[in-house]
Amino acid sequence: MLAPAPTIHLQSVEKVFPNGVRGLAPLDLAVGQGELVSLIGPSGCGKSTLLKLIANLHQPSGGAVRWWGEDFSAIGREGRRLSFVFQDPTLMPWSNVATNVRLPLDLDGVPRAQAEARIMPALRQVGLEHAAKRYPAQLSGGMRMRVSIARALVTRPDLLLMDEPFGALDEFTRNRLDEDMARLCARDGLTTIFVTHSLYEAAFLSSRVIVMAADPGRIHAEYVIDPGMPRDEAFRMSDAFARICRDLTALLSEVSPRRAGEEGL
Amino acid sequence: MTVSPRAIAVAAPIAVGVLVLLAWQAACRLWHIPPYLMPAPTDIGASLAANGPALLHALRSTLAVTMAALAISVAGGVLSAFLLVQSRLIETSLMPYVIIMQVTPIVAIAPLIIILVKATMPALVVCATLIAIFPIISNTLQGLRSVDPGLESFFRMHKASRLQMLLRLRIPSALPMFMAGLRISSGLALVGAVVAEFVAGTGGSSAGLAYEILQSGFQMDIPRMFAALALITVAGLVLYGATAALQRLVLRRWQAQG
């Protein structure tokens, strides 16, 4: 069987910031259709930088990023869409939930009637159909993040980029949102790249985990997880999940060695 | 029984005001302080009633200058901020002059303005505007620059046009800061109007409250001076309250509670 054509292909991509700091050493990465790839690693290893290069929010200092084998102009053509979920919900506080969710469609020039028709299904996907008229200040942190996800899903993206979206949430809300994400990505065959600090989150969601190292940012290891495993509460309690977490912990400890003489708590 | 914080916020300052007035009244009566040194609140009230028409006419003149200056400050301040935000080079080139305008005491340049601008009313408005415009410029500018970086990236990622960025992102983002600037400017416009009237010494039909204060001083009619002062204070409070209410109305979505 032929391997699926990569949705994202980074070829010797590196990033040097204007202040001379080398954010990423040249690296290669290919992400195939329908994969859910997590990027984990210590602070400063370039996870978010890598994601922003894929989102075209940063330009590489060297190498090339290819989207469906083409340059960034491929986005928007043939219905190919990219959505980005930020670390913060980044909602417009002056607009209600429905208008926030409709924003990317407005910016993309989708006619108002069509855009309106897509709001409720997107909100239903994240369980917020009852909150369409509320304002961000009236929502909890978890609900705001759900609105942010609905805003990303409303464009019916082929590629979803998420930059530590649940980092600021409590464990209970985070687990629930992780389960929702796993279900949505599996159902729609979404290609997703997910940056997280939590190896448990990476273990739960991913079909592949990229472990990154710092100084300079680079790929240290890749860890493949059987995508066929159902990502539900039972999986979280299983021996297989515990084994994956152990393996990822070992890989992470390789990239965050305790410095000589550094005391523990 | 629990008292709501809102009721306390209204009742507490009123109670303090009433207590101060009572103490003031008692002190004047107990120590027989003559009205030309310190009039009792009842003397001021009597003067206000006796000179009502003249004082209200003066109040109207002062408020006309204030409102004209505030309107020009809003229009000019917002336009200036939009101009300054267009590029760092424009801001770097022009901002020092905006600051010079702000730090030059209006009392020092008011005589010059009154000489240059022949008609009295426009001269007063120019003086008041020079005082009131700065918070509008600086706050609007800061507001236009204080866009959520994530939201800005989101707009850029969706290839938003300059107009979309302005109308759907920059202007709404700047509103809270602009409203705060407006609240400060409303008070400054009144201060500017009164200061300009003092310097111009405007009399006749366009005499404002500052002229009333000056005249009362010359005539040793101290209760009338206090009455004019009280009207300025009330006008300032009403302006502040009105802009605060407008701020709450405009920004109600920002602070909407569940």
**Does residue A262 form part of some domain?**
no
Contact B150 A90 (CB under 8 A): yes
- Range of the structural domain that residue A249 is part of: 1-81+158-166+176-255
Q: Given pLDDT bands bounded at 50, 70 and 90, which one contains residue B65?
A: very high
Pairing of strands A159-163, A62-67: unpaired
Query: In this predicted structure, what is the pLDDT of residue A4?
Result: 53
Of A86, A88, A107, the CB nearest to B158: A107
Q: How many CA atoms lie within 13 A of A71 on its CB side?
A: 4
Query: In this predicted structure, what is the pLDDT of residue A1?
Result: 45
Assess whether A240 and A162 both reside in one domain: yes
Handedness of CA B90, B96, B97, B102 (dihedral sign): positive
A137: chain B residues, CB-CB within 8 Å: 253-257
As a whole number of angstroms, the distance between CA A234 and CA A96 comes to: 36
Query: In this predicted structure, what is the pLDDT of residue A258?
Result: 59
Tokens of A168: 């600021």
For residue B80, the distance in angstroms to the closest alpha carbon of chain A comes to 24
For residue B141, the distance in angstroms to the closest alpha carbon of chain A comes to 19
Q: What region, left, alpha or beta, does residue A68 occupy, with left being phi > 0 and alpha being psi -120 to 50 degrees?
A: left
Query: In this predicted structure, what is the pLDDT of residue B256?
Result: 60
Q: Which residue has the higher pLDDT, A102 or B221?
A: A102
**A106-142 burial by CB neighbour count: b if 16+ within 10 A, else e?**
ebeebeeeebeebbbebbebbebeebbebbbebbeeb
As a whole number of angstroms, the distance between CA B18 and CA A76 comes to: 68
Tokens of B11: 């009742």
pLDDT in tens, B94-137: 888 888 888 888 888 888 888 888 788 888 899 899 989 999 99
Of B151, B153, B158, the CB nearest to A92: B151
Element (H, E) at B10: helix B5-30
ipTM of this complex prediction, to 2 decimal places: 0.81
Pairing of strands A191-195, A208-213: unpaired
As a whole number of angstroms, the distance between CA A119 and CA A132 comes to: 9
Q: How many CB pairs under 8 A join A and B?
A: 61
Query: In this predicted structure, what is the pLDDT of residue B106?
Result: 81
- State the architecture of B44-250 in CATH terms: Orthogonal Bundle (1.10)
Query: In this predicted structure, what is the pLDDT of residue A245?
Result: 94
**Does residue A260 form part of some domain?**
no
Give the SS3 label for residue B53: helix
As a whole number of angstroms, the distance between CA A58 and CA A67 comes to: 15
Query: In this predicted structure, what is the pLDDT of residue A260?
Result: 39
**Residue A99 in contact with partner chain B when CB distance is under 8 A:** no
Assess whether A204 and A136 both reside in one domain: no
Please give the full DSSP string across B86-121, using - where no structure is assigned.
T-HHHHHHHHHHHHHHHHS-HHHHHHHHHHHS-SHH
Last residue of a domain, one of A127, A156, A185: A156
Contact B157 A90 (CB under 8 A): no
Q: Quickly list H helices, B31-51.
A: 41-50
Assess whether A61 and A162 both reside in one domain: yes
Assess whether A69 and A151 both reside in one domain: no
Tokens of B230: 């009280």
By C-alpha distance, the chain B residue nearest A81 is B158
As a whole number of angstroms, the distance between CA B220 and CA B47 comes to: 13
Contact B254 A93 (CB under 8 A): yes
A95: chain B residues, CB-CB within 8 Å: 172, 253
Assess whether A39 and A139 both reside in one domain: no
pLDDT in tens, A229-261: 778 888 888 999 999 999 999 999 988 755 434
Domain count for chain A: 2
Contact A57 B148 (CB under 8 A): no
Tokens of A58: 């940063």
Query: In this predicted structure, what is the pLDDT of residue B18?
Result: 93
Residues of B with CB under 8 A from a CB of A: 148, 150-151, 153-160, 164, 168-169, 172, 175, 253-258
Instruction: Give the lowest-confidence range in A186-195, A226-235, B28-37, B245-254.
Output: A226-235
List beta partners, residue A30: A9
Contact A57 B159 (CB under 8 A): no
Low-confidence ranges of chain A (pLDDT < 70): 1-5, 76-79, 257-265
Assess whether A31 and A101 both reside in one domain: no
**Residue A106 in contact with partner chain B when CB distance is under 8 A:** yes
Crossing angle between the packed helical segments B222-250 and B41-50, to the nearest 10 degrees = 90
B175: chain A residues, CB-CB within 8 Å: 94
β-sheet with A62-67: strand ranges across: A22-32, A6-16, A62-67
Assess whether A72 and A162 both reside in one domain: yes
For residue B235, the distance in angstroms to the closest alpha carbon of chain A comes to 31
A93: chain B residues, CB-CB within 8 Å: 253-254
Percentage of residues in chain B having pLDDT higher than 90? 37
Of A92, A96, A137, the CB nearest to B255: A137
As a whole number of angstroms, the distance between CA A122 and CA A116 comes to: 11
Pairing of strands A36-40, A208-213: parallel
B179, B246 contact by CB (below 8 A): yes
Contact A108 B158 (CB under 8 A): yes
> Which of A94, A110, A163 should we substitute to test contact with B (largest number of B Cβ atoms within 10 Å)?
A94
**Residue A104 in contact with partner chain B when CB distance is under 8 A:** yes
Query: In this predicted structure, what is the pLDDT of residue B99?
Result: 86
The residue ranges of every structural domain in chain B are: 44-250
Query: In this predicted structure, what is the pLDDT of residue A12?
Result: 92
**Does residue A48 form part of some domain?**
yes
As a whole number of angstroms, the distance between CA A202 and CA A174 comes to: 12
As a whole number of angstroms, the distance between CA B243 and CA B222 comes to: 32
**Residue A265 in contact with partner chain B when CB distance is under 8 A:** no
As a whole number of angstroms, the distance between CA A21 and CA A23 comes to: 6
As a whole number of angstroms, the distance between CA A48 and CA B94 comes to: 37
Q: Which residue has the higher pLDDT, B186 or B252?
A: B186
Q: Which residue has the higher pLDDT, B72 or B210?
A: B72
Assess whether A146 and A162 both reside in one domain: no
A130: chain B residues, CB-CB within 8 Å: none
**Residue A88 in contact with partner chain B when CB distance is under 8 A:** yes
DSSP B7: H
The mean pLDDT of B71-88, rounded to a whole number, is 91
Query: In this predicted structure, what is the pLDDT of residue A261?
Result: 46
Instruction: List C-alpha distances in Å: B256 to A120, A134, B174, B218, B253.
Output: 22, 9, 18, 53, 5
As a whole number of angstroms, the distance between CA A225 and CA A179 comes to: 16
**Does residue A86 form part of some domain?**
no
Handedness of CA A226, A231, A234, A237 (dihedral sign): positive
Residues 6+ apart with CB under 8 A from A157: A81, A82, A83, A190
Assess whether A5 and A34 both reside in one domain: yes
Cβ atoms within 10 Å of B145's Cβ, excluding its own: 15
Nearest CA among B200, B193, B187, B195 for reference residue B234? B187
Q: Domain with A226 in it: what CATH number?
A: 3.40.50.300
Assess whether A204 and A245 both reside in one domain: yes
